[in-house]
Structure 1
């Protein structure tokens, strides 16, 4: 029996190492997605659930949930943008300005919210944004009739608070790995701090911004608890619609069609965003060189 060549042996070892992750990926991601797509072309059974069929009616009815798609596709990108705007200055301070002891303390404080249940944190925001919270404080100084809870503003506040650590950490890693000699070279060439930031620091930290934005955007697109608690049943996301369709209306095919549409939108949006950000970063790095 002929022995395997070094190249074939290397490929066999690689296949064995990749196989567990590949099986995990197939059975927990690809296969469930295929099942959802199949269900999306079915019909609702008389008692609810799924009945085998092949129809495009579920996709034709997607405009009936247009408000849900509008809320999600508006508030999720806006929440991601606001989270990035709040996260970048703190990540920059942690990576560039803070000394080692203060940096460690602040990193712990960034992670601390994850030690508490998300439900408890949103309950706390209900108290803060409710009638006895910020609106009562504003009325005390003469600004009356302010309503924050159960509005898109409350959902955005909760999004920034809830997902801020997921944005800070990738940006911090990108900035922390930044070669400080580039900043010194920029200063030696006559660039001030502002110009150095826009032409050196920001372009080289874009991969961290892209990673954090992708994490936050994906999670916001599928959020259920956030709009349910801080939106008060008046600001619905796709996640809320899916709970209604699968558990209450028991219209599984229509819920599967909504899920498939959401996955397609997320895939296209993230692909365009990543391509724009990475291309922009490559252009700026080339210009810098």
Structure 2
């Protein structure tokens, strides 16, 4: 009786994931080849939605959003990796998780509020320009912080940086303390420790955080809508516009392309770094 209850408790989340995660993803691919009707779509097989994506300006917008998301990933690496190292190496063990909680707290606020709150800071007459002018770094306000691709990149970094810090910290947390003690005893300098120890061992966490930032950067429509200019269009915004235009097969095709992009990145990351090591102690 006890074993049967355990099996049931295990099957419930599996069934839940299949119904609400795996099945919708499979249906997304199937619906992407359906034929468009006036208000919905009907069964059939056509690649018109994919042609409509790849042979139009949508592909250029998609590639542009990928480029901007790549910049966000690089910036998040240079900001988030040192923070994760500092928490792992300099903060006391009992306080490390409390410090990590500080980076998670902003996500308890609605995403649209967090992104919209950046506009008074990044605008021409905003807080950032005022500070730069007060310290005499600039003479006139900078307009490139908002309603431009730069604003989108800043929004992505601010929105998703905690995920880079969190995933990297998980990888660093698996490194036993004696490794740092041995390096100190052998007189290993900081540059060598960073290059030969911290960076390789933290690679799975860095890749996981990079994939999260990259995929969300090309998929979340709020950031280019609120902080980007007229040319700031990502895959999420393309899908949203297709839904508004009642072109559901195109929306499904864009979603399928994003899904295959994510699966490809995860496959490459697993082959290079074995992402299962992220939650395993390092021996």
Confirm or deny that 1:120 pairs with 2:117.
no
Is the 8 Å Cα contact of residues 124 and 141 (structure 2) preserved in structure 1?
no
Q: Which of 106, 110, 115 is the aligned partner of 2:103? A: 110
- Determine the structure 2 residue equivalent to 1:265: 261
Q: TM-score of the superposition, structure 2-length normalised?
A: 0.83
Q: 1:132 to 1:255 in 2, by over 3 A?
A: same
- Determine the structure 2 residue equivalent to 1:276: 272
How big is each residue's C-alpha offset from its partner over 1:186-235, in whole Å with a ceiling of 9 and x where there is no partner? Answer: 23334223212221222222222233223333332321111111114430
- Determine the structure 2 residue equivalent to 1:184: 181
Equivalence map 1:56-135=2 (5 Å): 56-63=47-54, 64=56, 65-99=58-92, 103=96, 106-133=99-126, 134-135=128-129
Is the 8 Å Cα contact of residues 91 and 172 (structure 1) preserved in structure 2?
yes
CA positional deviation for 1:236: 0.7
Is the 8 Å Cα contact of residues 152 and 224 (structure 2) preserved in structure 1?
yes
Is the 8 Å Cα contact of residues 187 and 196 (structure 1) preserved in structure 2?
no
- Determine the structure 2 residue equivalent to 1:7: none
- Determine the structure 2 residue equivalent to 1:160: 157
How big is each residue's C-alpha offset from its partner over 1:68-109, in whole Å with a ceiling of 9 and x where there is no partner? Answer: 311232122322232122111111111101246875664343
Name which one, 1 or 2, has greater alpha-carbon Rg. 1
How big is each residue's C-alpha offset from its partner over 1:22-74, in whole Å with a ceiling of 9 and x where there is no partner? Answer: 211211122212222222112211x2321332212222222221123112321
**Distance in 2 separating the partners of 1:234 and 1:97:** 43
Unaligned runs of 5+ in 1: 1-9, 282-288
How big is each residue's C-alpha offset from its partner over 1:102-154, in whole Å with a ceiling of 9 and x where there is no partner? Answer: 75664343223123222222122111111212346556742456422111111
What SS does structure 2 have at the residue aligned with 1:61? helix
Is the 8 Å Cα contact of residues 96 and 175 (structure 1) preserved in structure 2?
no
Q: Which of 189, 193, 198 is the aligned partner of 1:196? A: 193
Q: TM-score of the superposition, structure 1-length normalised?
A: 0.82
Q: 1:105 to 1:267 in 2, by over 3 A?
A: closer
**Distance in 2 separating the partners of 1:20 and 1:102:** 36
In the comparison of the two structures, how many residue pairs are matched? 271
**Distance in 2 separating the partners of 1:156 and 1:62:** 24
Q: Cα RMSD (Å) of the superposition? A: 2.9
**Distance in 2 separating the partners of 1:29 and 1:98:** 38
